[in-house]
Amino acid sequence: MFTNAIKNSITNSIKNSIKPIRYIDPIKIRTIRNKGYLMELEKQYDEFLDKNQQILMLLETIYDYLDVRDAIRLQVQRLEIEDKKKELYKNVKKEKIIKYDRTFHLLIEPELRLTEEQIQQGYAPTINEPKEYKCGCASIRYKTQSITKDINLKLYCDIHIGKKKTHDELETRLKGIKRELSQIKRKSNRLDPKKRQSKYPWKNV
């Protein structure tokens, strides 16, 4: 007990030696839309972590503050991407497709991106793409004037990605089952009456 009292005394002494910073729940940071405020907050957390790194490691709280700082940084990046997307669409005139350039390519998830060959073929997204859904899924449709077939790509959320995987596995199994069923009538599977009697008596006459 005496040892614990000394330990608590030392811990309190260490805590009192640093100037505290406001702790924000990382989940709540996602709701903050003021980029300027977030950037200032990120700067404060960077300074706080740089100045008190060793003390926070001793207190075993450094990861809590790192999580907050990283959440702030990620939200700033999200808002910057949103601003770039708005700028992209602001420059779009009343056309049926928008230009697929390097900026657009980097602003969308890898699952929704075109291949280099498809870009060379002139594919570009239609207006108001990608389509977004409440669950987190998204889809995008690409068109080109030289090829009639559109390209449709999908991005699945954490919930539906598992269901898509299950769907693909079942589709693969179903193809195998159909293949096996189609082989029932193959010549090599037919009963040779000379080697084996039929279970239908009238066929053995």
Give the model confidence (pLDDT) of 151-181 as tens digits.
Answer: 999 999 999 999 999 999 999 999 999 999 9
Cα-Cα-Cα-Cα dihedral sign, residues 109, 157, 33, 22: negative
Percent pLDDT > 70 in the chain is: 84
pLDDT above 70: residue 89 = no
H-run or E-run covering 86? helix 62-90
Residues 6+ apart with CB under 8 A from 157: 133, 135, 136, 137
By CB atoms closer than 10 A (0-12, 13-18, 19+), residue 73 is middle
pTM over 0.75: no
Tokens of 83: 């601003």
In the chain, where the domains are located: 2-89, 92-181
HSE toward the beta carbon, residue 33, CA cutoff 13 A: 2
